[in-house]
Amino acid sequence: MTSPVPPRRRSPRWLVEATAWGLGAALVLGAGVVLSVDKAPAMPAEVETTPMVSLPSPIPSPSAEPPPPPEPQLPLPASPDSRAAPTFRSAAQPDLDVASILGPPPGPQNDPRPLRTAAPADRYAFLVGVTDYRPPTKDTIGSANDVAFIAGQLTANGWLPQNIRVITNGQVTGAAIREGMAWLAQKSVPGTFALFHYSGHVKQKGGTREALWPVDRAFVDDRDVTAALSKAQGRLWVDIAGCEAGSFMDGLPSERVLFSGSSKGTEKSYEYPRWAMSVWSGLLFDVGLRQKDADADKNGRTTIGETLRYSQYYAQAITLGQKPYGRQTPQFAGAPDLGWTLSDPPA
């Protein structure tokens, strides 16, 4: 195996020799595709057995509902020092020259700071994550862990717990999603900042139509998501971690609204079993923001702009060569003043 090409700036601290010893798979949100990571998740989590394959072996059908294949037992190395400088490679094809395909990792850019910031009492979040689905729908690996981790990061950055609504697993019905979005839009008045995050399966409805996938299968259409959240009047960030996430972008991004999604509207999104989190949420909220790996200018202040670019690059890097679905390419658009952090979001 040839050595991977390191990025020009500081490498991420979590991609350490994952493919030198074998790969566990990452369940595609809504698809059943798997791949692995080397570093233990930032938050401990117990998860049900998920379908695992040794990449780049053939992968299961993109349906969320077929029974999972047996899980091979893969040798896992000891977790390295989280601050050690790792090598950096594609998970499926470690011989790929990632830098020659994607170019160098993103460097410093001038992200303007917002003119106003929202006080802690004026920040609201509605976080939705489903790991345990009702049969015959297959479980994800760590969608509920995504939202638990995000909620913890919000409170660590001064958000008030009473302003954060979290629903997971059996709580995530279609009615609960709709009610939560209506609550968030009602709270979102001028001078406030609101976050909507969803992690879980996405239902393909044909053409460019997609839907959030609650446990009761009362699917929430992408147009309904747009209609509900467009009623918000304050600053808003909509973040989707699921297959075809980019399909939820239509009608949302604006000078006031930031949209981010884990993949294009035509792509799958992946999870890492060893993290028990999605690739996107793990990169964005843990590695990028909490661990500050996305701090491109090394000034000690990791902005949302830095983190979105960082996570977009490395999500592609580690999913290059995935078969048959290929890489995931995260998307973000809207609100150009990205020089803020979770502790000083715009108002």
Assess whether pLDDT exceeds 80 at residue 122: yes
pLDDT, residue 73, reads 26
Q: What is the mean pLDDT of the chain?
A: 79
CA distances from 7 to 115, 198, 313 (A): 34, 30, 11
pLDDT digits (tens, 9 = 90+) for 217-252: 999 999 999 999 999 999 999 999 999 999 999 999
Assess whether pLDDT exceeds 60 at residue 306: yes
pLDDT, residue 89, reads 60
pLDDT, residue 38, reads 36
Q: At what angle do helices 174-187 and 222-229 cross, to 10 degrees?
A: 30
Average pLDDT over residues 71-87: 30
Pairing of strands 235-241, 193-199: parallel
pLDDT digits (tens, 9 = 90+) for 314-345: 999 988 888 888 999 999 999 999 999 999 99
91 band by pLDDT with thresholds 50, 70 and 90: low
pLDDT, residue 321, reads 86
Average pLDDT over residues 162-166: 98
Assess whether pLDDT exceeds 80 at residue 79: no
Assess whether pLDDT exceeds 50 at residue 43: no
Q: Is the pLDDT higher at 315 or at 29?
A: 315
Long-range contacts of 57-63 (CB under 8 A, 24+ apart): 58/323, 59/25, 59/32, 59/33, 59/34, 59/322, 59/323, 59/324, 59/325, 60/31, 60/32, 60/33, 61/32, 62/28, 62/30, 62/31, 62/32, 62/33, 62/268, 62/325, 63/31, 63/32
Which CATH class for the 121-334 domain?
Answer: alpha beta
C-alpha span between 329 and 268 (Å, rounded): 9
Assess whether pLDDT exceeds 90 at residue 66: no
Q: Is the pLDDT higher at 298 or at 49?
A: 298
C-alpha span between 169 and 144 (Å, rounded): 7
| CA–centroid distance for 43 within its chain | 15
206 band by pLDDT with thresholds 50, 70 and 90: confident
Assess whether pLDDT exceeds 80 at residue 37: no
Assess whether pLDDT exceeds 70 at residue 26: no
pLDDT digits (tens, 9 = 90+) for 263-305: 999 999 999 888 899 999 999 999 999 999 999 999 999 999 9
pLDDT digits (tens, 9 = 90+) for 208-217: 789 999 999 9
pLDDT, residue 205, reads 83
- Domain residue spans of the chain: 121-334
pLDDT, residue 25, reads 35
pLDDT, residue 274, reads 81
H or E stretch at 152: helix 143-156
Side-chain half-sphere of 102: how many Cα atoms within 13 Å? 29
What percent of the chain clears pLDDT 90, i.e. is strictly above it? 65
C-alpha span between 223 and 248 (Å, rounded): 8
pLDDT, residue 98, reads 87
DSSP state of 236: E
Average pLDDT over residues 20-28: 33
Is 0.85 surpassed by the pTM of this model?
Answer: no
pLDDT, residue 323, reads 84
Residue indicated by tokens 């690739």? 279
At position 240, the amino acid (one-letter code) is: I
Which residue from 76, 84, 82, 105 is spatially nearest to 5, judged by alpha carbons? 105
